[in-house]
Amino acid sequence: MYAKQVRKFAIKVAERPLPNQPNLLTKEDVSFITRMVNDELAELKAAKTLTDQSDALVDTIYYILHIACKNGINLDPLFEIVHAANMDKVAKGVNRRRSDGKVLKPENWQPPEPKLAHILEKQKIHGSFPYHSG
């Protein structure tokens, strides 16, 4: 979806070559992305217009994709897996919800983590962005 676009930006602004295999984020990366996302969420909370809200939402997505790209993680195929798992929560047509509105997992629901781990292993072997040089 958007990871390849953000990777183009990340390559242009990178201070060092970007890895093409997934790496665990450092404590510094986690601290940075937490700060940036919290800043954008504060902007969202303060936003008074649809434009300002939309900008804060897109900036949040962009920051997350950027930190992933900087660490060699292509989130696009991972998003597809999580999306499919979420759709499986509602596939039966009966949605159970918590009091706050969150959709609950149905019986026999399968968590996405095993499939995510498989894709990350493939990215380690074949590269996260195998056909994309920037």
**pLDDT (tens digit, 9 = 90+) per residue, 55-97?**
999 999 999 999 999 999 999 999 999 999 989 888 667 788 8
| Helix residue ranges per DSSP H, 20-127 | 27-46, 50-70, 75-90, 113-126
* DSSP code for 3: H
Contact present, 18 and 73 (Cβ < 8 Å): no
For 71-85, b/e burial (b = at least 16 CB within 10 A) is bbbbbbbbeebeeeb
Q: Is 60 exceeded by the pLDDT of residue 132?
A: no
CATH of domain 3-126: 1.10.3420.10
